[in-house]
Amino acid sequence: MANSSSASRAAAYLFLIVFFGALAAYGGYKLYNKYGPSKTVVEEVPFGLDAGMSIPNGDAPNFKADVQRLPVQAQAELRRAGELSRSGASKAAYEIYDALVLLYPNVDAAVWGEVNTLFGMDSVTETMRDRAEILMGRLMNRYPNTGISFYLDSRKSLLAGNLTVATELAKMASSRSPSIYEIRLWYAELLHKNSNMREATNECRAAISLSSGDSQRAFELLAKIYHDAGVLDSASIVVDYALTQFPLSSELLLLRGYLAEYNGKFDVAEKTYQRIIAFHPDYEKARRAMATIGEKSAPGKESYAGSARDRAQVACDILSPLVERYPENLPLREALGIAYLKNHMFDRARREFNYIVKNDPEYPDIKTRLNEVEQARQVVIEEFNNGLTANLTRAVDSLRESMAPEQKHDFSTKLGHYLVRYGASSQEFFKKYSITNFKQVRRFVWQESFYESPYMHTYTVVFDSLNRFREVHVSVYDSSSTSNHLGVAPEIFTRLMKQNSRISGIGNSTGETVCRDDLVMDAVVWETRDNFEILARIVGKPAEVRMVRLDRSTLPPSGMKLCDYLPMLMEF
């Protein structure tokens, strides 16, 4: 009897265990369907996060469960709408989403897609705005105090003009629902607006991974972040790759045009802008870019960019995994080698270039790349040896600048001695010297004139095609009647020679040189490690003196004959 009672109890326990186990399994299944897995493991995507990295789902809903309950045709339409939205075809995507929401109003995946598509459209009608408000309210009621609700509140805050609140709400949304790529991308946009380039880059790369590399906007934003931070090598790499995936992206093409301009390739930039306008005639950015070809300058280096070697390291970090994934892609290897070269990693650069030589000896300019490695190594050694001299030069320049009186032209700034180093941008130049004193006489050329009895001074500042300070041309004319010395060195020449010697030190006189049968030139030359100056007069024109100041590195290594400077002296 006791044995029978024990067996009954055991059977009852077993039944309860099985029953509650089945109930727990069913509950777990329902929870899984509702909330999905606890984390998302990203795959390898170019410019995304490291492959295999786990991202917690947080409170992100499992939209896939809703989609699986739809008819097969509706599922296909929903996927097509998502693809159109991610590739930038917002209008077409909106029409599909809107039709699906009308047919299946309880499918949150369609509601979420329509809302985000409306956010991505350049212009919306009043009806669309009302529609967005209704759909946003529906989502916020369905998912209160979640990443989705914080994300939608963030959108509303920015529309109200409060960037700070919008950014904080987006941060909360990203932390609560870190696996939703639309939220990560939105947070990246706000970080970019706040000039927080480093964090913006991380959020953008997360969005690229979570969208499996299908989001056009994510690549556009990543390229823009690198561009605005001054990391132009990385921006170019992203643009080149992303245009293979999204060849009609106006934003990516626009950046390609900008990058071409910074490198002086104005014909390439013009064709790029024309291509954008051909597809999108009303795209104002492209029209402005076309109207200002040659006037743009590369963006300044933000704190994100760091030193030139830091920026090169960013390019190395991007390219290394791509080369590992596509080892036979020689252009990728060349780009990685260039990045190593800029980062002063000469052995690694040589390794990449030698690999290309081994596999394709006729690869364009590859032997030149190898020579660049050796030349760059030698330059680094010379810079180290000349470091003290360079530091002293900078100290003298700083002392001269700090001692300069606050007036238009004292003796130290006469004869075009502007206290701006060669290669400085036009913005830097006109921060020191008011643009109101200058007039633009041609593209990249600005001129100022002033009269100081009895001399008329004209200083012409020339920038290169990238709007970087290159050289100064000086013309001084003596209006007094006592200047005609009939060939003898007049007062204006000797006076200005002495004045320039007070600034630049003792120069070397060339004496009179016959350049042509009817032209004899007398000149004085000043030459330092960085600077070259020549002050000259033409015999027979005693009232006029001309001078050119320029970066010595722009001259041929073998130098020039005195008369070869004549066209430069007479240019302005």
What is the per-residue pLDDT across 226-262, written as a single tens digit (0 to 9) for each?
A: 999 888 888 988 998 888 888 888 899 999 999 988 8
Q: Kind and range of the H or E element at 11?
A: helix 2-35
Three-class SS state of 154: helix
**How far is residue 492's CA from residue 536's CA, in Å, rounded to a whole number?**
11
At 257 the pLDDT is: 92
Are 227 and 235 contacting, i.e. CB atoms less than 8 angstroms apart? Answer: yes
**In Å, what is the CA distance from 256 to each residue of 215, 268, 305, 475?**
19, 9, 20, 40
pLDDT digits (tens, 9 = 90+) for 188-233: 999 999 888 889 999 999 999 998 888 889 999 999 999 998 888 8
Please indicate whether residue 34 or residue 221 has the higher confidence score (pLDDT): 221
Are 425 and 467 contacting, i.e. CB atoms less than 8 angstroms apart? Answer: yes
Question: Model confidence at 486, in pLDDT bands (50, 70, 90)?
Answer: very low
Q: What are phi and psi of 294, to 5 degrees?
A: 90, -10
Distance of CA 285 to the CA centre of its chain: 16
pLDDT digits (tens, 9 = 90+) for 373-397: 877 776 665 555 554 444 444 444 4
Three-class SS state of 69: coil
Query: What is the model's pTM?
Result: 0.51
Residue 405, pLDDT > 60, answer no
Do the two domains 229-303 and 308-385 of this chain adopt the same fold? yes
Please report where in the chains the tokens 């493991």 appear, as a residue: 41
Are 290 and 280 contacting, i.e. CB atoms less than 8 angstroms apart? Answer: no
The 3 state secondary structure assigned to 327-395 is CCCHHHHHHHHHHHHHCCCHHHHHHHHHHHHHHCCCCCCHHHHHHHHHHHHHHHHHHHHCHHHHHHHHH
Residue 457, pLDDT > 50, answer yes
User: Mean per-residue pLDDT for 499-513?
Assistant: 80
Question: Model confidence at 322, in pLDDT bands (50, 70, 90)?
Answer: confident
**How far is residue 419's CA from residue 413's CA, in Å, rounded to a whole number?**
8
Contacts of residue 513, defined as CB under 8 A and 6 or more positions apart, other chains included, come to: 520, 521, 522, 523, 562, 563
**How far is residue 336's CA from residue 350's CA, in Å, rounded to a whole number?**
11
**How far is residue 469's CA from residue 527's CA, in Å, rounded to a whole number?**
19
Q: What are phi and psi of 475, to 5 degrees?
A: -130, 125
Question: Model confidence at 36, in pLDDT bands (50, 70, 90)?
Answer: very low
Tell me the CATH number for domain 229-303. 1.25.40
pLDDT digits (tens, 9 = 90+) for 63-96: 777 777 778 887 788 888 888 777 777 788 888 8
Q: Kind and range of the H or E element at 533?
A: strand 531-538
Three-class SS state of 461: strand
47-61, 108-122, 270-284, 306-320: the lowest-pLDDT one: 306-320
User: Mean per-residue pLDDT for 356-380?
Assistant: 79
Are 360 and 331 contacting, i.e. CB atoms less than 8 angstroms apart? Answer: no
Three-class SS state of 176: helix
**How far is residue 512's CA from residue 495's CA, in Å, rounded to a whole number?**
18
User: Mean per-residue pLDDT for 532-536?
Assistant: 91
Q: Which CATH architecture has domain 308-385?
A: Alpha Horseshoe (1.25)
Residue 142, pLDDT > 60, answer yes
**How far is residue 257's CA from residue 272's CA, in Å, rounded to a whole number?**
6
Residue 29, pLDDT > 80, answer no
At 25 the pLDDT is: 59
For residue 4, give both structure tokens: 């029978």
Domain boundaries, the chain: 1-31, 229-303, 308-385, 405-569
Average pLDDT, the chain: 80
Tell me how many degrees the CA angle 119-120-124 measures, rounded to the nearest 5: 70
For residue 567, give both structure tokens: 């066209």
Are 144 and 101 contacting, i.e. CB atoms less than 8 angstroms apart? Answer: no
- Long-range contacts (CB closer than 8 Å, 24 or more residues apart) made by 102-111: 103/74, 104/70, 104/74, 106/66, 107/66, 107/67, 107/69, 107/70, 108/61, 108/63, 108/66, 108/139, 108/142, 109/63, 109/64, 109/66, 109/67, 109/78, 110/78, 110/81, 111/135, 111/138, 111/139
**How far is residue 205's CA from residue 211's CA, in Å, rounded to a whole number?**
10
**How far is residue 323's CA from residue 336's CA, in Å, rounded to a whole number?**
8
Q: What are phi and psi of 441, to 5 degrees?
A: -100, -20
Please indicate whether residue 130 or residue 32 has the higher confidence score (pLDDT): 130
Residue 572, pLDDT > 70, answer yes
What percent of the chain lies above the pLDDT cut of 70?
A: 82
